[in-house]
Structure 1
Amino acid sequence: MTDAPDAIKRLVETFGDNIDSYRSSPYNETQVRREFIDPMFKALGWDVDNEAGHAEPYKDVIHEDAVKVGGATKAPDYSFRIGGARKFFLEAKAPSTNIKTDCKNAREAAFQLRRYGWSAKLPLSILTNFAGFAVYDCGIRPHKNDKPSTARTLYLLPVRKEKDDDLWCFPGR
């Protein structure tokens, strides 16, 4: 396996080199998931594609997992698990989606993810467009009018050299 920091640095460099293209409308959530998010979490040791062949209850990652939110069943993009127990959700957005500033898209995306995490009683969940990773404390009850910065620690890419170690604190397997 490639050294995780090197593999992730290459992903970050590729993304940074082509940021304008990735932020264009045609580049969508599915593309950023397949080309950047999946490879990043694979480099961190997560079996994103169930290459180990585990039965459903024991997979590391469940895509479009089911979680009850306000009486309805919702589907976070990723549910990361260890030994069948959920550890965190990750919700992906297209790179053109603003997750940083207080705007309608960012508020809606943050509220959506925080509701998933709160309902599943998870300690944290991550919202990403790959240009940034918003780590939310899901122990704080979400409210529809919360700012995107509520209960959030935000990491922006590309990571500055002196901050490289921050990226490696993301939840590896």
Structure 2
Amino acid sequence: MADPIPAWSRMCTRYPGECSVDLSEPAIVPLTPAIWKLLVSVNRRVNHTIRPRADREHWGVEDHWDFPYDGFGDCEDYQLLKRRLLVRAGLPARALRMTVVIDEHASGHAVMLVRTDQGDYVLDNRRSEVLPWYKTTYIYVKREGDYGAGWVSTREMVSPIGVASHL
């Protein structure tokens, strides 16, 4: 187990339904061509619709997780919107896990892992491509758990070192 991000916990107070885990849902989805197309489409659409804005500038605080209702947000806000759209399209929320990573600049970053029968894939506001987790440049720290409010450590998941755009 791992402690959730404090800003995540505050968001869960505002939107409790976003943080609950329905144990009757599958934790892994079959990666069909239709689901792949949906993942790529939602990732690209949100990435091209939302404009980047740091929490300090946007909300006046260091870390604030929320939906980008005004068209602006930072990494976790993009991912929350992607998850909401994917759930509305029929994917189980339990297979869509918010994840905290360390990027190539040694900074914290949030992505969403989609847990599939062909491995975990990453939706990221820094790229249009949906990649397997190990093809990113990130060190994975922790993600939402599959069984409740707690998060789980992912420190054993270390991807290759590389260069990606910094946002």
Whether the TM-score (by the shorter chain) exceeds 0.5 is no
RCO greater where, 1 or 2, for CA within 8 Å and sep 6 or more?
Answer: 2
Q: Please identify the structure whose Cα radius of gyration is greater.
A: 1
TM-score by length of 1: 0.31
